[in-house]
A and B are shown apart, each in its own frame.
Chain A
Amino acid sequence: MSVDQDIPNKKEFELFIAAPMSALGNDEAYAIGRKNILELIDRLSGVHGLDPVYYAGATISGQAAFTGETTALRRDLEALRNSRLFVLVYPSKIVTSALVEVGYALALRLPCLLLVRDKDDLPYLLNQVEASEPSELLPPLRIRVFHEIDSAAQEIAAFRRDLVQKEINNV
């Protein structure tokens, strides 16, 4: 697994993964959510060659280890600006800062993949956005339902492959 653990600087990330963290409420739920994302990163790196990946929870083993809101914000926004692709893993309908990161990524026009268990869990605005064509304002965006880590990894790899193909066709 190759997860960048230090504060990201000039380095470019293949992928930024946003997922609920503090919103999960307790250590047990956080540990399960984190384990799933780390497995996903392993699969992306090992099977699909997607590397390096930024995931804020990679260095935070438990909720007591949260570094502080200001530092977290600075790291995340800097990593977002240095990523090629944005992926939201949104396993259930909850209040989470990951949705703030989606907005940030969309405004930066990062290609976005939203992985959900149920499309209706997404905020109304995001639920509708897939119907819009990519434009000067809107980056490529895809919403996919996932059930297991393996299918999530495949969706991410397919999204990236399609983006690369589109870039090649446009050259």
Chain B
Amino acid sequence: MSDEGGKEGMWSSLVAILKSFGLGGALILIGFGIVMLAIFKGPDFKPESAQPAVLWIGLGAGGLAIVIGLILLRLGPSINSTGIKRVSRYDVYIAAPMAGFGNDDEGRRTAVDLVRCIEGALLRLPDVRNVYTPVAARSQSAQYETPGTAFDTELTALRSAKRYLLVLPGALPAGTSVLVTAGIAIALKLPCAILAHKDLALPYLLDGAVQSRAVQLRQHRYTDAENIEKLFANNGLRLFGSE
């Protein structure tokens, strides 16, 4: 009975350790445990002739567990400010209000062209491999698979992005989704940049975020696509703040 209780206790402790520290953290703890056992219990091992071997095997096995644990921790997802594990999948998430460039097809094309130009400029940078933008992925809102998918898709993409880039035209359309994604990016503490048309007045809180040191949000003004390409060519990822 007590044996069963002991086994159950050990098992639940192991599960608790795995939940708290993950596999990498648990391996590091186990590694330290083995090293300590080898150092303090190795000299008591019988027969005495086997003690050096026990010590070295213990140190080796413990050391190996620690190294593997450290590697797993390094490769594992990071935990962000909202307490959710995050896997970085995209180097940059680009948001742009489609309606802001014109309500007709031409306006939509202008937005898509501008975002594709920015995407190209980003992908020419050495540290950028993957860029996500709902503008290019779904150039029309109806292209989301089901009504409920849109938000999930964007939230997942934002959570797996390393940086957030907001491209704003000369006038913001009312009720635009990009203000919501900007709020999410700020809460996730992503390095953010706003490329704002020279004529645009930013919404009050975004203006505050640009000026605030508490939020990593940089603002850059542009006049046209050529101007944006130059900005990226000259500054690279420094546009997002310290890199």
A residues with a Cβ closer than 8 A to B are: 21-23, 66, 68-74, 76-77, 93-97, 99-109, 121-126, 128-129, 131-132, 135-138
Q: How far is the CA of A97 from the CA of B203 in the complex (A)?
A: 6
If A103-B182, A103-B184 touch, does A124 touch B150 (CB 8 Å cutoff)? yes
Residue ID in chain A nearest B80 by CB atoms: A107
Contacts of A73 in B (CB 8 A): 205, 208-209, 212, 214-215
With contacts A93-B174, A107-B188, A122-B175 known, is A102 near B180, CB below 8 A?
yes
B207: nearest chain-A partner, CB-CB: A69
B177 neighbours in A (Cβ, 8 Å): 123-126
A-B contact pairs, 20 of them (CB 8 A): A21-B204, A23-B203, A68-B208, A70-B212, A73-B209, A74-B208, A95-B172, A96-B179, A97-B204, A97-B205, A99-B180, A105-B183, A108-B82, A122-B175, A123-B179, A125-B150, A129-B148, A129-B150, A136-B84, A137-B152
Ranked nearest first, the 5 interchain pairs of A and B with the lowest CB-CB distance are A103-B183, A69-B208, A131-B148, A107-B187, A73-B208
Could you tell me the dominant secondary structure of chain A's interface residues? Answer: helix
The smallest beta-carbon distance between B217 and chain A, in angstroms, is 10
11 more contacts with CB within 8 A, not counting A95-B174, A124-B141, A128-B149, are A22-B203, A69-B204, A69-B212, A74-B212, A93-B174, A96-B203, A97-B206, A101-B183, A103-B187, A128-B148, A136-B84
How many whole Å from A100's CB to the nearest CB in chain B? 4
Interface of B is mostly: helix
**B:184-209 near A, CB below 8 Å:** 184-188, 203-209
The smallest beta-carbon distance between A146 and chain B, in angstroms, is 17
Give Cα A76–Cα B186 distance, bound, in whole angstroms. 13
B155 part of interface (Cβ distance < 8 Å): yes
Say whether A123 contacts B176, CB under 8 Å.
yes
Task: For A137, give its contact among B150, B155, B173, B179 (CB under 8 Å).
Answer: B155
The total number of A-B Cβ pairs within 8 Å is: 140
Contact A104 B151 (CB under 8 A): no
> Which of A77, A104, A105, A124 has a CB less than 8 Å from the CB of B214?
A77
Which of B's residues lie within 8 Å of A, judged by CB?
A: 82, 84, 141, 144, 146-152, 154-156, 159, 172-177, 179-188, 203-209, 211-212, 214-215
Please name the residue on chain A nearest to B182 by beta carbon.
A100
A95 to B173: give the CA distance in the assembly, Å.
7
Please name all residues of chain A whose beta carbon is closer than 8 Å to the beta carbon of B175 when the two chains form the complex: 93-95, 99, 121-123
Q: Separation in Å of the B108 CB from the closest CB of chain A?
A: 14
CB distance from A57 to the nearest CB of B (A): 12
In the assembly, what is the distance between CA of A103 and CA of B187, in Å?
A: 8
Q: Are A72 and B208 in contact (CB under 8 A)?
A: yes
Task: Name B134's closest neighbour in chain A (CB-CB).
Answer: A125
The residue on A at minimum CB distance from B171 is A95
Chain A hits for B205, CB < 8 A = 69, 72-73, 76, 97, 100-101
How distant is A82 from chain B, measured CB to nearest CB, in Å? 14
Q: Give complex CA distance A122, B175 in Å.
A: 6
Q: How far is the CA of A94 from the CA of B172 in the complex (A)?
A: 9
Kindly state the separation between the CA atoms of A55 and B149 in the bound complex, as whole angstroms.
Answer: 32
Chain A residues whose CB sits within 8 angstroms of the CB of B187 once the complex forms: 103-104, 106-108
Contacts of B212 in A (CB 8 A): 69-70, 73-74
Report whether A70 and B150 are in contact in the complex, using a CB–CB cutoff of 8 Å.
no
Query: Which residue of chain A lies nearest to B188 when distances are taken between CB atoms in the complex?
Result: A107
Chain B contacts of A71 at CB under 8 A?
208
CB pair B174–A100 under 8 Å, yes or no, is no
Residues of B within 8 A of A107 (CB): 82, 183-184, 187-188
